[in-house]
Amino acid sequence: MKEALLALIGIPLLGALLTLLTARSNRDWARTIALASTGLTFLISVALVLADMAGAAGVAGQYHGETRRLILGTGGSPESLRGISFHIGIDGISLGLVFLTGLLFPAALLLTRKEANINDWGFLAWYQVLQALTFGAFLSLDLILFYVFFELTLIPLFFMIGGWGGSMKIEAATKMFLYGLTGSLFTLGGIVGASLALGGMEKGCDFSIPRLVQVAKDRGKPMEELIDRVEKSREALKHTKTDLENKTAQAKFDEAEHELLQKRNAASHWLNWQTVLFLMLMAGFAVKIPIIPVHFWQPMAYREAPIALTVVLSAVLAKMGLFGVVRIVLPLLPEASVRLATPVLGTLATIGILYGGLAALGASNIRTMLAFSSISHLGFCLLGMVSLNETGLSAGVLQMVNHGITTGGLWLLALILLERFPTLEIHTFSGMGGRFKAMGVVAVLLTLSSVGLPGLNSFVGEILSLMGMYAQGSDGRQLAVLASLGLILGAWYMLNFLLRVFYGDERIPASVPVRVACDLSRRELSVFVPMIGLCFLLGLAPQVFLKRISADTHAVAAELSEAQFRATGSSHLAPLELANESHEASAHKGKPAAPRKPAPQDNKGGAH
Amino acid sequence: MNTDLTNLAPSPADFLASVSPAIPEFFLLALGSLVLLGGTFRQERPLWGWISFFGLVTAIALAVRPIVSVPLDGNPYNGPLVYDGLSQTLRILSFLCGAGLVLLGWEEGDSSHVAERSALVLFAAAGASLCVAANDLATLFLALELVSIPSYLTLFLARSDKNGRESTLKYFLLSIFSSAMMLFGFSYLYGITGSIRIPEILAVLAESSLSPVPEAVPAARLVGLVMVVAGLGFKVTAVPFHFYAPDVYQGTSHFGAAVLSTLPKIAGFAALARLTGLTYETNGGVFLPFESQPSYLFWILASVTMTLGNIIALWQNNLRRLFAYSGIAHAGYMLVALSVGREVGATGALAALVVYLWAYVSMTLGTFAIFIYLDKKSKHLEKVEHLNGLAKTDPIAGAILVLLLLSLIGLPLTAGFIGKLALVQCAIRRGLENAITEAHPTSELRLYVGLAVLILVNAAIGGWYYLRIMGALYFRKGKESPASNRSVAALLTGAACVVVTIAVGVLPALVTRGIGEVPSQIIKTNVLVGESQDKPVDNH
């Protein structure tokens, strides 16, 4: 297992190196190397999934195939740089994403014709590097390691879009890079801040995700005992008889109350600080997904990138942001997530679902349509995650995989169309299904899956997402109702696309030689058939996968519900002055360092 | 408290003992004089180039295993020079930088001044190296002048046209003006404390800030501080003392700009680290004791410097001018360490400063090396457009330049990233530390977390103009110009800088070893404040 994970990162890197060294003048050889290395990662990821299915159900917080090596941390090194390690492992949340990475990288390459301009040693080397980095990001269990992989993906993307893209490639590459860089720099600040706040500042820095999650979980616990103690001492105070007893009871009560007050103060600082960290961490992930106000790079990048790259950009790389949310943001910052995730991210996700749907409806090009539909679909993943309950979280993770397969499949369809025809403008096509039967069937099935037909995969993910959101209080209910309009929009634009391109009178773009315009070849079928099989499998038996992820999502959900209980449960103490204090604290939204009034000490006596 | 300068004179044996670790510097000075003398007889490029280069290599070899000798009274901080972890790493940086500059100056300009050019680099490298070890104001000043005077001459030799003369004169006048300001500040520090030895000055200032009636002192202290910071701010191009940099860089040659953007900055930052007491924390916890004023002073300098540098750089098209502003921005990042230093624990802030200084010097030197290489090759390299299509016409130079640019942007696995990480970490840490120890968050939290965010915002702005260069290299079409002359030495320097950048990026511990520690074999005696704070000294 351990070796398999290392191989996932190592094989594409070796492939890239081999391409660089031996294939600079031979396009066929470069393609062979790239197909072999990405194909090997596919086999490994399939083996990982099978091994995992055969094994026992996962245990939360347990990662398979862990490798841990300290990178920085030798004696004499400065404190500020201590504790970065190469720490990788796989669990239910990352399993599906690793599988997607292993599936789509070779698929996109396999479907590209040999003569395409991307079968160039430079592009293929970068492509393999990108795959290695993607695997690395999904597998890493160390914050800095994750960041390194996450951020480094910008470099291959920049060179691949800028070097082999469409007519506006330089603008697209620059825009993508600058958006990504700006966002992820804030994420870096958030990572550093979270590790300092959670890992402690005396021992040097701790960047290990499992350890920090544990710390975050334990943070709120002592509070409950204290509340108990205050309650008890108050009771004791009421039942005192003599003066002396009263005095000691009063002293005890004061002490407990004072301690609680301090803890509350600390907790409210921690909450404010969490809010800042939440916003900083989310900046990078929001750009990567992308969420609405920072999505401007995405349609252009998807349009201008070579289409094989667009496939993996949309189907795999966008998941890095969502993965960051579920792996880092929610478990490390439970209180801030309870406070901000549903209202802020949920709203943005809903806006994204509707905006993406409307924009896709108006798109005249297949690429633009799929780009906007991605915004809409990823909105559903995010919506599920930010509902913060187990249903929603599982649905979010499941939907990431579903989107990878379905939208990935649609992008691959666009790829093979572009292999045959010079353009992807929707109006140039008509009645393709009549002439290309197999292609028509594939298109219909993928479209239906994307639309969310029951029995196919997206249905399960989307419905569970909406159910999760619906269960999340009244805000959640409103959002869920609004977001479900996105399903209708999705059906509208996807069926519209199907109707215009594959039905009606046969018309294909002029000036295409007939021998190029042919139906699906065996090579193409060998990619599409298994993908459609997966659509059915995940649609008819989602439990196979849900069972696998539930242990991990359950742990996150349990932590979040505890945090939620702490946030709302504090109203038990209404008779105490403290309660008001904490209400006031929670009213200070978005102001990290709002100077807080010291609690009025002389009010203590008023409690009895 | 010494009020008489004659009391400072140590016994000859003591003096020799404390100066003996400086053998590499003396060797360089002697070699530089020889080269200068020899240059009057012969002007041969390879001869003087090789001699100077191997002289610097010898100096590095001597510096790697320093002769540590203890002053007779046992306190390493009593001599004119101090060889602790900071001086150790930065003197190697100065020598390496000097070696790179010798290689770059090899084929620069006409052959009639090749000996002078090499000798000046030797002097400046020795000066920077002495400056990082200087422990009293007189040594510090002399060392800084030993960096400055060769830089005037380098500028003078670099270009003889009208622009070159203008930039030389501008730099010369402003530099002596800044030296004068610094001396003025020094005179205040000496006047208040009666000592020229930096640890003693800091100790006396610390005592006076504790005394019940410090009323008379603060104003004088502040004048001293501000003057010294202004003088050194010129060396490190901190805003508002940066005005010369863009004009001077643009007016001189690539080589002149490479010299100005590296050695004086090493010297300036080392001097600032010493004078603010960043290096003396482990030796008794003495910081420049102006409550929080120096911290806030550096806060303002850092934030203004990085923001202004980055924003103005966005509009630049001349490469040297652009890199002048980029150098200003990077100086701003490094000033963060000085602002944070006082309370975070010097080790963290000092390590961040050192890592970033290594990163900055290797990135900048490497970039100018590639510029010199390309300038030689195509006879002309002034604007960003001149780099168009470089990746096609010269893939090796293109790849080196891209790696350096990625480091300048601050992408992972490079020194630029690890430097920024360390700075952000120590800034946030300072903000948080106060928020946690005190029951209520102070303004410090907002101030220093804000500073960390400002670094990140600036890094993003910086990405913009570095990316423009990267785009030009890879995606724009350039015209192939016939290669007239290839400077292999410059290309090798660039490659070596990439190696250093990545090595520091992956293993920053390489350059931060021993920082904040006094050299081994020295038993610490805390005579500075008179308190006995015995801390264990790591032996290794």
Averaged pLDDT, groups of 10, chain A, 608 residues long: 88 93 85 93 91 66 68 45 75 90 93 82 93 94 92 93 88 92 93 84 71 79 73 79 79 81 77 88 92 89 91 92 92 88 90 93 91 92 89 91 93 89 82 84 92 88 89 84 91 91 76 66 89 91 84 85 72 32 39 38 39
A126 to chain B nearest CA, in Å?
A: 14
CB contact under 8 A, A596 and B440: yes
Let me know if A572 is exposed, middle or buried by CB neighbors in 10 A (0-12, 13-18, 19+): exposed
Of A588, A549, A572, A557, the closest CA to residue A334 belongs to A557
CA distance A536 to A542: 9
Q: Any CB–CB contact under 8 A between A122 and chain B?
A: no
Average pLDDT of the residues of chain B: 82
Q: Could you tell me how many residues make up chain B?
A: 540
pLDDT of residue B517: 59
Let me know if A362 is exposed, middle or buried by CB neighbors in 10 A (0-12, 13-18, 19+): exposed
Integer CA distances (angstroms), A262 to A227, A270, A453, in order? 12, 12, 54
Q: Residues A276, A278, A279, CA angle at the centre, nearest 5°?
A: 70
Beta strands in B386-445 (DSSP E): none
pLDDT of residue A588: 41
CB contact under 8 A, A162 and B460: no
Identify the closest residue of chain A to B432 by CA–CA distance.
A197
Identify the closest residue of chain A to B457 by CA–CA distance.
A182
Instruction: For chain B, positions 432-451, list CB contacts with chain A under 8 A.
Output: 432-433, 435-436, 439-441, 443, 445-446, 449
CB contact under 8 A, A79 and B351: yes
Q: Any CB–CB contact under 8 A between B518 and chain A?
A: no
CA distance A106 to A45: 12
Q: Which two tokens stand for residue A377?
A: 């679909």
CB contact under 8 A, A76 and B538: yes
Instruction: For chain A, positions 540-599, list CB contacts with chain B under 8 A.
Output: 592-596, 598
User: Using omega within 30 degrees of 0 as the cis cutoff, is the peptide bond preceding B199 cis?
Assistant: no
**Alpha helix ranges (H) inside B134-215:** 137-158, 162-193, 198-210
Q: Any CB–CB contact under 8 A between A262 and chain B?
A: yes
pLDDT of residue A233: 80
The three-class DSSP label of residue A236 is: helix
CA distance B109 to A133: 45
pLDDT band, residue B530 (cuts 50/70/90): very low
Identify the closest residue of chain A to B444 by CA–CA distance.
A593
Domain ranges of chain A: 2-200+271-561
pLDDT of residue B445: 79
CB contact under 8 A, A78 and B441: no
Q: Which two tokens stand for residue A62?
A: 């347990």
CB contact under 8 A, A598 and B439: yes
Kindly report the backbone phi and psi dihedral angles of residue A60, in degrees, each rounded to the nearest multiple of 5, phi listed first: -60, 140
Q: Any CB–CB contact under 8 A between B508 and chain A?
A: yes
pLDDT of residue B260: 93
Closest by Cβ to B460, choosing from A155, A163, A181: A181
CA distance A10 to A26: 23
Q: Any CB–CB contact under 8 A between A481 and chain B?
A: no
Closest by Cβ to B467, choosing from A169, A174, A594: A174
CB contact under 8 A, B422 and A148: no
Taking a C-beta distance cutoff of 8 angstroms, is the pair A326, A93 a contact?
Answer: yes
Residue at token pair 């995969």: A457
Q: Could you tell me how many residues make up chain A?
A: 608
Q: Any CB–CB contact under 8 A between A201 and chain B?
A: yes
Of A160, A127, A121, A159, the closest CA to residue A25 belongs to A121
CA distance B70 to B72: 6
B267 to chain A nearest CA, in Å?
A: 22
CA distance B187 to A448: 83
CA distance B110 to B160: 11
Taking a C-beta distance cutoff of 8 angstroms, is the pair A511, A422 a contact?
Answer: yes
Identify the closest residue of chain B to A146 by CA–CA distance.
B412
Which residues in chain A have their CB less than 8 angstroms from residue B507's CB?
A: 72
Residue type, B231: G
Bigger pLDDT: B164 or A566?
Answer: B164
Q: Which two tokens stand for residue A471?
A: 């269960």
CB contact under 8 A, A196 and B540: no
A241 CA to centre of own chain: 61
Q: Any CB–CB contact under 8 A between B352 and chain A?
A: yes
Identify the DSSP state of B290: B
Q: Once rounded to an integer, what is the mean pLDDT over residues B36-41?
A: 87
Chain A / chain B CB contacts < 8 angstroms: 158
The three-class DSSP label of residue A87 is: strand
Closest by Cβ to A76, choosing from B352, B475, B514: B514
Beta bridge partners of A69: A86
Which residues in chain B have their CB less than 8 angstroms from residue A145's CB?
A: none
CB contact under 8 A, B470 and A182: no
Q: Any CB–CB contact under 8 A between B391 and chain A?
A: no
Q: Any CB–CB contact under 8 A between B473 and chain A?
A: no
Residues 6 or more apart whose CB falls under 8 angstroms from that of A434 comprise A440, A506
Integer CA distances (angstroms), A324 to A257, A342, A495, B314, in order? 39, 17, 33, 32
Instruction: Render A189-229 in DSSP notation, one character per residue.
Output: HHHHHHHHHHH-SSS----BHHHHHHHHHHHTHHHHHHHHH
Q: Which has the minimum average pLDDT: A300-309, A389-398, B439-448, B494-503?
A: B439-448
Among A80, A186, A201, A262, pick the best mutation site for testing chain B contact (most B Cβ within 10 A).
A80
pLDDT of residue A589: 37
pLDDT of residue B536: 40
Q: Once rounded to an integer, what is the mean pLDDT over residues B498-516?
A: 84
Per residue in B123-138, pLDDT (tens digit) is: 999 999 999 989 889 9
Closest by Cβ to B456, choosing from A72, A185, A273: A185
Residues 6 or more apart whose CB falls under 8 angstroms from that of B163 comprise B250, B251, B252
Identify the DSSP state of B70: -
pLDDT of residue B290: 45
Which residues in chain B have their CB less than 8 angstroms from residue A166's CB?
A: none
Q: Any CB–CB contact under 8 A between B453 and chain A?
A: yes
pLDDT of residue B395: 87
CA distance A423 to B252: 52
CB contact under 8 A, B352 and A169: no
Which residues in chain A have their CB less than 8 angstroms from residue B350's CB?
A: 78
Of B460, B458, B464, the closest CA to residue B303 belongs to B458
Q: Any CB–CB contact under 8 A between A185 and chain B?
A: yes
CA gyration radius, chain A? 27
Of A502, A508, A314, the closest CA to residue A420 belongs to A508
CB contact under 8 A, B456 and A188: yes
Residue B521 has pLDDT above 70, yes or no: no
Closest by Cβ to B411, choosing from A152, A169, A205: A152
Residue type, B314: L
Please, what is the angle between helix B114-133 and helix B137-158, to 10°? 160
Which residues in chain B have their CB less than 8 angstroms from residue A185's CB?
A: 410, 456-457, 459-460
Residue B466 has pLDDT above 90, yes or no: yes
Share of chain B above pLDDT 90, in %: 45
The three-class DSSP label of residue B292 is: strand
Of B237, B402, B264, B394, the closest CA to residue B321 belongs to B237
Which residues in chain B have their CB less than 8 angstroms from residue A178's CB?
A: 460, 463-464, 467
Per residue in B256-309, pLDDT (tens digit) is: 999 999 999 999 999 998 888 777 654 444 445 445 677 788 999 999 999 999
Which residues in chain B have their CB less than 8 angstroms from residue A205's CB?
A: 425
A31: left (phi over 0), alpha (psi -120 to 50) or beta: alpha
Closest by Cβ to B474, choosing from A148, A162, A594: A162
